[in-house]
Amino acid sequence: MAALDSPDARRELVIDTMASWALEDMEPTPEMVQDIALYVEGKISTAEIIEKVKRGGYRD
């Protein structure tokens, strides 16, 4: 089993999240896709993504 904060664990979380969005007919913005890739690589945290959403980021 992958460590909770390993690249594999982050990748699985992203896959599950994006599958859930697809079921709701939602698509991430290109900027969000870039940040998701950075998250999987461990370069930014979920807290940073959440803060960006709170500031109004990721809107088309």
- pLDDT at 25 (0 to 100): 94
CA pair distance 23, 3, nearest whole angstrom: 27
- pLDDT at 3 (0 to 100): 73
And the tokens for 44?
Answer: 């930014």
Whether residue 17 is contained in a domain is answered as: yes
Whether residue 19 is contained in a domain is answered as: yes
Whether residue 21 is contained in a domain is answered as: yes
Domain count, the chain: 1
Whether residue 1 is contained in a domain is answered as: no
Residue 32 sits in which domain range?
Answer: 7-54
Whether residue 60 is contained in a domain is answered as: no
Whether residue 2 is contained in a domain is answered as: no
23-to-16, 18, 19, 20 alpha-carbon distances in Å: 11, 9, 6, 5
Whether residue 59 is contained in a domain is answered as: no
Query: How many C-beta atoms lie closer than 10 Å to residue 15's C-beta?
Result: 11
Per-residue pLDDT tens for 1-59?
457 789 999 999 999 999 999 999 999 999 999 999 999 999 999 999 999 999 998 88
